[in-house]
Structure formats: structure tokens, C-alpha cells
Amino acid sequence: MKWLWLSALTIFLDQLTKAIAEAELLLHKPVAIFPSFNFTLMYNKGAAFSFLSDAGGWQRILFVTLSTVISIFLFFWLKQITRDEKQKDNRVLQIAIALILGGAIGNLIDRALTGEVVDFIQIYYSTYYFPAFNIADSAITVGAGLLILDMFLEYKREKAHQ
């Protein structure tokens, strides 16, 4: 499982940057880094875009359970791909799964320990603010993009073999 190191690196960087954000930033006080880019400490009890953040607490169990199940599935998928001779050299797919796995576990750690995820990266344009996110969210997003890319590449590979 040669790409598991990427999951571990993602988890490490995610937890490290969240710890730094909590130590150095004040809640909801933006620190300008570049135009349209701030560091702003926020907490999210929900899922993406604060989905179910006001649900009253039961969502913590739901999200921890879902994250755990998804992480286990991703781990075994990655393990299966590295053993499958046909898929063994499919780096794009392996990197995608490793990034999503690392991101899922990074946010799972927060949810399991505190019931909320630390977010601190804020992007905006004029008065429109994209929801704050973190390294784990970024890894999941890049991994999902790579999964989509791999689907197109796989279609191209299959078409070439016909």
C-alpha cells in the first residue's frame, strides 16, 4: 500500500494546521493573508457547508459513524487496488483514494474528540464568502477531482483497448 503515506501526511498536516489555527487565531476574527484569502478560526458541528450543524448533537454520532465506515471502505479499496494487477499502476486512482482517506480521518479525529471540525481557511470575493474549510476538506476535494479525472482516463483506456 505504497500510497498510505499520503493519507498519513494529510492527517498530520491537517491536525498540525488545526492546532496552529486554534493556538494563534481568535474565533471569527479574520487575518488577511492575501486579497480574498483569510485565516479565520471557526468550528463546524455539521457536515459540508454546515449541514445539520444545528441538529442538537445527534449529528455527531451520525458523522463519526459515517466517517468511520467510509474510511474503512476507502482503506480496503486502496488495498485491493494495490493488489489488483490491472489497477496496480493506476496512480491517479490510488492518490485520489489516499487523499480522500486522509481527509476523512482528519475530520473524523475532530468530530470524535470534540464533536466539531476546526475550519480556518476562508476565501471570499467582494462580499461573498465561501464557507471556511481546512486541509482535510482540501484533500477530499482534490481527491474527488482526481476520481473524476480517473473516470475519464479509464473510459479513454477502455476505448483504446476496443
* Active site residues per annotation: 119, 137
Strand order in the sheet with 37-44: 31-34, 37-44, 117-125, 128-129
Residues 68-96 as b/e (b if ≥16 CB within 10 A, e otherwise) read eeebeebbeebeebbeeeeeeebeebbbb
> How far is it between the farthest Cα atoms of the chain?
58
Interatomic CA distance for residues 65 and 59, integer angstroms:
10
First to last CA, the chain: 30
| Residue whose C-alpha cell reads 500510497 in the numeric block | 3
| Residue whose C-alpha cell reads 489497477 in the numeric block | 87
